[in-house]
Amino acid sequence: MAIHTVLVTGGAGYIGSHACVELLEAGFNVVVVDNLSNSNPESLARVQKLTGKSLAFYEVDIRDKQSLSDIFVKEMPDTVVHFAGLKAVGESCEQPHLYYHNNVFGTLVLTEVMQAHQVKQLVFSSSATVYGITDKTQYSEDLPIGAINPYGRSKAMVEDILRDLAEADKIAKPDKPWKIALLRYFNPIGAHESGLIGEDPNGTPNNLMPYVAQVAIGKLPQLSVFGDDYPTHDGTGIRDYIHVIDLVKGHIKAIHAFNNAHFVEGNCKAYNLGAGRGYSVLEIIKKFEEVTGKTINYKIAPRRPGDLAEYFANPELALQELNWKVEKTLHDMVADTWNWQSKNPQGYR
């Protein structure tokens, strides 16, 4: 079998670094393009240590068209996995221009360069956040899109752009049509079981799991549980948490699926990557205490604006068409988070 080269944008980040491990272990050549705006190159050193394999790294912003184009000439990738983007919802409300420029314009530049080099297989990091407010708690891919903040809208806009690209090829019928998987992640948590790579947020974490881990290690004094009066079984918010290793395996399944009937003549399809069941904030805290033996100091605080009570994935389509489903348990997610946090109390620093 020919060895395929995958260009990974944002490969030094949390999910990207785990994807690099799985791609290298699956036999792909890996080329990372990352501007290190939210990551540390130590993650890539550890990926190579962990796998015993090397990758190529370019410290380049995907909006730098000339540099990106030079990388395509030199490395000749056949597929791109596109993680590069900004992801903090609150920051996106304060600085929408930054988010649209980075996430939307960045993807335009990337896809222009891909098209110019006839590289037309793309796996895109989308998010469950593209779904609008609905009376459903289980989200299927055919629900309407209706993101409620600039971050979510940047993802929804990119999905539209990518669908339009694939559609244009259906009309023009080129020899090599776009094949695009839009992977809508639910709530990724956990770390590689080695404890060598994991999530290393800048400053105070926004998300639940890294916050809990930093309370457990003593870096933060107390967790605020945002609301205990939601219409859920214990009053706290319910989310579909997914182990980052399960998540990145979904990307490899998507690359393989580019050869199957759903993509063979070109397509752009969205897939939920989630477990199909949710856990509440209190259930996460309880499991963390049980697995680590640590007590999590928490208080009940007001609801966080913009939060929904409960949602989780319908992951059937990914099972049917990508042959993918989660394998790890909540115990694995918590144990691996703690293994990473306790071995790296200062992250990569």
Q: What angle do CA 7, 12, 15 make, to 5 degrees?
A: 85
Q: Is 166 in the site for ligand WQD (CB under 6 A)?
A: no
Q: Is 127 in the site for ligand WQD (CB under 6 A)?
A: yes
Q: How far is the CB of 13 from ligand NAD (least distance, A)?
A: 2
Q: How far is the CB of 70 from ligand WQD (least distance, A)?
A: 30
Nearest 10 degrees: CA dihedral of 88, 45, 47, 82? 40
Residue whose beta carbon is closest to ligand NAD? 13
Per-residue mark of binding to ligand WQD, 282-321 (x: CB under 6 A): ----------------------x--x--------------
In sequence order, the β-bridge partners of residue 298 are 223
Measure the CA–CA gap between 66 and 71, rounded to whole angstroms. Answer: 9
Q: Is 192 in the site for ligand WQD (CB under 6 A)?
A: no
Q: Is 281 in the site for ligand WQD (CB under 6 A)?
A: yes
Q: How far is the CB of 127 from ligand WQD (least distance, A)?
A: 3
Q: Is 337 in the site for ligand WQD (CB under 6 A)?
A: no
Question: Could you tell which of ligand WQD, ligand NAD, none binds residue 225, using a CB distance below 5 to 8 A set by kind?
Answer: ligand WQD
Token pair listed for 18: 């785990």
Q: Is 120 in the site for ligand WQD (CB under 6 A)?
A: no
Measure the CA–CA gap between 8 and 34, rounded to whole angstroms. Answer: 8
Residue 129, SS3 per DSSP: helix
Q: How far is the CB of 34 from ligand NAD (least distance, A)?
A: 4
Number of residues located near ligand WQD, criterion CB under 6 A: 18
Residue closer to ligand NAD, measured from CB, 196 or 266: 196
Return the residue of 18, 87, 249, 269 that touches ligand WQD, per CB under 6 A. Answer: 87
Return the residue of 150, 237, 266, 276 that touches ligand WQD, per CB under 6 A. Answer: 237
- The binding site for ligand NAD (CB under 6 A) comprises 9-10, 12-16, 33-39, 61-63, 83-87, 102, 106, 125, 127, 185, 188
Measure the CA–CA gap between 237 and 242, rounded to whole angstroms. Answer: 16
Answer whether 49's CB lies under 8 Å from 194's CB.
no
Contacts 24+ apart (CB under 8 A), 342-349: 342/195, 342/217, 343/195, 344/195, 344/198, 344/200, 345/217, 345/219, 347/40, 347/198, 347/200, 347/201, 348/40, 348/42, 348/43, 348/46, 348/200, 349/40
Answer yes or no: 241 catalytic. Answer: no
Residue of 58, 139, 151, 311 with catalytic role: 151
Token pair listed for 338: 């703690």
Q: Using the CB atoms, write b or e for 23-43: b if 16+ within 10 Å.
A: bbeeebbbbbbbbeebbbebb
Residue closer to ligand WQD, measured from CB, 211 or 340: 211
Answer whether 247's CB lies under 8 Å from 273's CB.
yes
Piece of 37-45, 66-74, 220-228, 256-264 that binds ligand WQD (CB under 6 A): 220-228
Axis crossing angle, helix 150-172 with helix 106-116, rounded to the nearest 10: 20
Question: Could you tell which of ligand WQD, ligand NAD, none binds residue 153, using a CB distance below 5 to 8 A set by kind?
Answer: none
Binding positions for ligand WQD, rule: CB under 6 A: 87, 89, 127, 129, 187, 206-208, 211, 223-226, 237, 239, 281, 304, 307
Give the catalytic positions in this structure.
Answer: 151
